[in-house]
Structure 1
Amino acid sequence: MAKCMFVVFSLSSGSLCHGACVEVDSDTDAVVNEGFKLGCISCKRRGEVPAEATVEWSFMPKGESEFTKIYSYEDLTSDISDERFYERLDWNGSKKTKDLQEGSIYIRNVTWNDTGTYRCIFNRTLIFTSFKFHNDTTKIVHLNVVPRLTRGIASILSEVMMYVTIIGLQVWLVVEMIYCYRKISVQGEEALRESAAEYLAIASESKENCAMVVVTE
């Protein structure tokens, strides 16, 4: 029975993961003349504590040695500070909140000159009752611009294994549910048979007692 309860818990607990913050690395290959999302996620470790955060993006072109500020997001307002990216950068992070956990941006119409290293800096302030705590997190993305996107063998195998694992887990859960259902059904039938046997035994004993009373009279 404990095994059956575990299966039910596994099915119900799956929905608890929705909305959780997961730090995923950004893609690094952008196709020229197409759009591309520069990912930057910094999860707040204390979910119950209110916070505010700002995001700043800098860019170091391939072959250079210094970063240049290109974009910032603060108080729900974005600012493009590099003319190379004017009208080409869109905010793609957390919406309608100052408590940012995703600071991704979207590059429109990628060019060959966008190849290089991008730096995303999260400046977060945790607001406690009696004090504030400041924390900075830095993410680095090495962007490579290609004529067309090709998938490597490792990426394909990883995706296949992911789907195989998901399907395998679902099959296992279905099998366990069937097993538990049959086990519960068998136990229920046995309980009914035991109840019927007890009823017949009581009825038979009552009949014998009645017969003895009649003979005595």
Structure 2
Amino acid sequence: MCAVTLLLPVMLLAHQASVCGGACVEVESDTEAVVGKGFKLGCISCKRRGEVKAEAEVSWSFQASGDSDFSELYYYENTAGEVIDPRFYDRLDWNGSKSTRDLQDGSIYILNVTFNDTGVYKCNFNRLLKYSNHDYFTNTTKTILLTVVPQVTRGMASILSEVMMYVSIIGLQLWLVVEMIYCYRKISAAGEEALRESAAEYLAIASESKENCADAQVAE
């Protein structure tokens, strides 16, 4: 029982890792970039029916801070992408899925971020699902409001998330220590009980042997 209790957290973590490893998870993009650094604009649109064949294309548009309209930024289809906005020439590259059969990650990566990159980015996923008797078109749009700062800043949510992570790790370690102590005491108590039973059984056999010898002597 103790061994099963100690192995349970490890088994759960392994199961979660195996499940997450092959699944598509729509994680939201970061929204704060540091000037002069690289930055990933994340855009994930999971295909809900894995057994259905599909074709997808991704297009990005950008509205700079102070502009009233969006301009075409980037287009990707069939393992090839094109930077459309001249402000991002030689500074932008594809950072998403490579497969043409299951395009789900449409992220892009900006090199050498500038303050002029501040603004609103839109990621459009156009997907054509190919069923046996018909095709079905879907469109998903994700909007990212990007802020460019001179240096890394940490928000309260990030700090609280890190604190909770360390609290969870410490709590799990304490729980494992308590379980180990409990199991050790239980095993020790069982061992002592077995020794006492063995000693009592030995004394009973010895006493019976003495009585048998005494009866034999009287009979003689």
Give the alignment's TM-score, normalised by structure 2: 0.75
Partner of 1:89: 92
Query: How far off is 1:207 after superposition?
Result: 7.8
8 Å CA contact retained: 1:49, 1:126: no
Q: Please give the secondary structure, in 2, of the residue aligned with 1:22.
A: coil
1:105 equivalent to 2:104? Answer no
Partner of 1:14: 13
Q: In the superposition, relative to structure 1, how do residues 55 and 178 fare at CA in structure 2: closer, same or farther (>3 Å)?
A: farther
Query: How far off is 1:22 after superposition?
Result: 3.3
- The aligned amino acid for 1:10 is P
Q: Distance in 1 between matches of 2:139 and 2:217?
A: 97
Deviates more, 1:135-144 or 1:36-45: 36-45
Q: Distance in 2 between matches of 1:159 and 1:68?
A: 37
Q: Distance in 2 between matches of 1:154 and 1:140?
A: 21
Q: In the superposition, relative to structure 1, how do residues 167 and 208 fare at CA in structure 2: closer, same or farther (>3 Å)?
A: same
Deviates more, 1:93-102 or 1:154-163: 93-102
Q: Distance in 2 between matches of 1:21 and 1:186?
A: 49
- The aligned amino acid for 1:16 is H
Q: How does 1:182-201 map to 2 (within 5 A)?
A: 182-191=185-194, 193-194=196-197, 197=200, 201=204
Superposed CA deviations along residues 86-125 of structure 1, whole A, max 9, x for unmatched, are 1211222234564233322110111222111111123345
Q: Among residues 104, 121, 126, which one is paired with 1:123 in the alignment?
A: 126
Q: In the superposition, relative to structure 1, how do residues 69 and 205 fare at CA in structure 2: closer, same or farther (>3 Å)?
A: farther
Q: Distance in 2 between matches of 1:128 and 1:32?
A: 46
Give the share of equivalent positions with the same residue, in percent: 63
Q: Among residues 30, 34, 37, which one is paired with 1:31 in the alignment?
A: 34
Give the alignment's TM-score, normalised by structure 1: 0.76
Q: Distance in 2 between matches of 1:132 and 1:196?
A: 81
Superposed CA deviations along residues 134-186 of structure 1, whole A, max 9, x for unmatched, are 43332211011222222234432332232222222233233223423432443
Q: How does 1:128-143 map to 2 (within 5 A)?
A: 133-143=136-146
8 Å CA contact retained: 1:40, 1:139: yes
Deviates more, 1:24-33 or 1:201-210: 201-210
1:149 equivalent to 2:152? Answer yes
Q: Distance in 2 between matches of 1:93 and 1:141?
A: 16
8 Å CA contact retained: 1:119, 1:139: yes
RMSD of the alignment, in Å?
A: 3.3
